Structure 1
Amino acid sequence: MDIEKINGALEGCDNFLISTGNILSINDITKKVNLNTSDELVDAISFTLKEFQDNGVLQTQSDHLLVISRHNDNLKISEHELADLKIGFKVFLNSDDPDSLTEAIQKALIVLKVESINDVIVTFKQKIGNQNDNLNQIQSTWSVLENLIKKGQIKQIGIADIEESAFRALYDWAKVKPSIIQINLSTCCVVPPTLQSFCKEHDIKLLTHSDPLDLLPVESIESIFGTPLILKWALRFLIHVKCRGVLTTKGYLLNLVKN
């Protein structure tokens, strides 16, 4: 991959997006067994940049934000009626700026060319040491999700990797209650029975995941781009066909800024 060509295309641009399109159409990724999320994302970014190098797909949005994407994103949305699809986002936030969450969701809606989706799960950059969840940060972000519910852009909202006490406090405070909570079994090998009971009582989906604590480490970014960049946020989108439960599309959208 010609890093100089990529960096040359981004010269003068301090803020850009990478859209991987549907990575299920990339054989070099799908044929790998037991690929963890970080390695999958690194491969997806590298493949997208290589295709950009070969085809030069560089777009500018109305807000002057540059978007690097694949020549053929293979999203497969147009192959089905929207009513037959279940579209979900998981947003990985690296800051406590609520505008980052708004930006991530709105950019993803533009990329997928849809006006609304089924659900959004948000997670914050993992805490260091024994720091507790920042409830004020969570509430500020949750207000963004509640507003998108009100606008009809999202049907259900959830949160990942949150302490049970903070989750209960969020539930009591929220106008729109969380419908989903995701637990990382690598850090919590057994789901607390009290949390299981709470979710059952309030009809909350209790899900598990295996996403790493640091989705895209600094060293991975530098190895890809040859220069230090900051990941503001990342978003993973999944599209299922409802009647069959088949996953047809999986991809990532990332916002990177120059250091």
Structure 2
Amino acid sequence: MTRIVLSTGNIVTGGPSIIRKPGTPRSNLELTNSLRSNFQAAQEDYAPSPVGSNGNGHHHGNEHPVNGNSRPTADSWTTSEDSVLYVPRIDWAAAGLQEDRAQYEITLKLFFLPTAPVAKRREYVHEALQLVMKELRVEHIDLLIVSFPGISFEGDCEWEADKINATMGNEEDEVVTWAALENLYEQGKVSRLGIAEFGTEKLQRFISRVKVRPAVDQINIKDCCNVPPPLTKLAKREGVELLTHGDCTDILPSGTLRELLGHSAQGAGILADDENAQNGLRGNLIPEWVAKYTAFVSYRGVIENKGYFAGAELVTA
């Protein structure tokens, strides 16, 4: 069994990003494209200098040292620490924010994936939070939102979406998982807790069963016109802030992850393929969670740091 942590690094390029930027890609495409880009950058950084280079790792002309047979070996651009394989390796020394911590609003959205066991969600929460805090060099975050599998907010209208949503998910698992987040809240590591895709009935039942009520409910209304009036009324009465988003619920399916780490033209070359069992790791790859984080500079209204971590487990026969 091998634990794998994938990372995109900071995907904000060319200066800080305005928080509401038109044409922002869906989160699943943003995640996969950013991972591919970070894998390629790491392979280029750690690739041996070919003939014709200037000797300092920079390549001339149209050479592509990470393509084809010249792809560097996985151990040159990944690293193992405490039984976890980091893809790619992370330069923690370069991590951190540019300004004082008080200037930022830091949000972490954690997606629990349907392929992962519910019993391990407490571990996933701690692992994701520790990675984000280490990446940003902070001791707490402002908002932690959890997205449970099997829940969506979709329908021909907001009333239908709200009605269908009431029967989705697994309430017992959601309440048990929430207890792990409440511990982080009580420890001061998270200032506010939030949920995603909870309609009127689900939110009402959930509030009645938890100790620390969610401060935020984030819903996707791409297929609807408005937030359902009953949900708006409930949120106002209970002091829950309603936010909208464009994230995918199943953000990293097994097939997508295997393609990212496989030997295809756009793959990282980490996993073995069927043709040659010796050219990578073998086993059943199980995506477990995805963490999306943003560091928003409040007084300037811009995002300085944004990225993703993803956790998976490779189980050998």
TM-score, normalising length: structure 2: 0.69
- How many angstroms does 1:153 deviate by? 0.2
Runs of 4+ in 1 over 6 A off after TM superposition: 70-76
Is 1:18–1:68's contact at 8 Å kept on the other side of the alignment? yes
| Residues 157-176 of structure 1 mapped to structure 2, 5 A cutoff | 157-176=193-212
Find out whether 1:213 has 2:249 as its counterpart. Answer: yes
Residue identity in the other structure for 1:149: Y
| Equivalent residues in 2 for 1:11-160, closer than 5 Å | 14-25=2-13, 33-54=23-44, 55=46, 56-61=76-81, 63-69=82-88, 77-94=96-113, 95=116, 96-97=118-119, 98-99=121-122, 100-127=124-151, 132-160=168-196
In the TM superposition, residue 230 of structure 1 has moved relative to its aligned partner by 2.0
Q: Compared with structure 1, are the counterparts of its residues 138 and 188 closer, same or farther at alpha carbon in structure 2 (3 Å cutoff)? A: farther
CA–CA separation in structure 1 for the residues paired with 2:127 and 2:105:
21
Q: Paired residues, what number? A: 244
Contact 2:92 2:134 in 1 (8 A): no
Distance 1:138 1:60 in 2: 32
Spell out, residue by residue over 1:197-256, the C-alpha distance to the aligned partner (whole angstroms, 9 max, x if none). Answer: 111122211011111232123332232222563211000000011112211111000112
**Which whole-Å CA distance do the structure 1 matches of 2:182 and 2:201 have between them?**
21
Larger Rg: 2
Fraction of identical pairs, as percent: 28
Distance 2:295 2:94 in 1: 9
Find the counterpart in structure 1 of residue 289 from structure 2.
Answer: 233
C-alpha distance 105-78 of structure 1, shift in aligned 2 (>3 A):
closer
**Deviation digits for residues 63-84 of structure 1, max 9, x if unmatched?**
3212224666898743100111
Instruction: Please report how far the alpha carbon of residue 37 of structure 1 lies from its aligned counterpart in structure 2 after TM superposition.
Output: 1.4
Larger mean CA deviation between 97-106 and 151-160 belongs to 97-106
Q: Equivalents in 1 of 2:181, 2:173: separation in Å? A: 13
2:309 is aligned to 253
What residue identity is the alignment partner of 1:243?
Answer: Y
Q: Distance in 2 between matches of 1:165 and 1:45?
A: 37
* CA spacing shift, 1:72–1:107, aligned 2, 3 Å: closer
Q: What is the TM-score of this pair, normalised by structure 1?
A: 0.83
Q: Report the residue type matching 1:147 in the other structure.
A: N
What SS does structure 1 have at the residue aligned with 2:42? helix
> Unpaired runs of 5+ in structure 2?
47-75, 153-163, 263-270, 272-283
What's the Cα RMSD here? Answer: 2.9
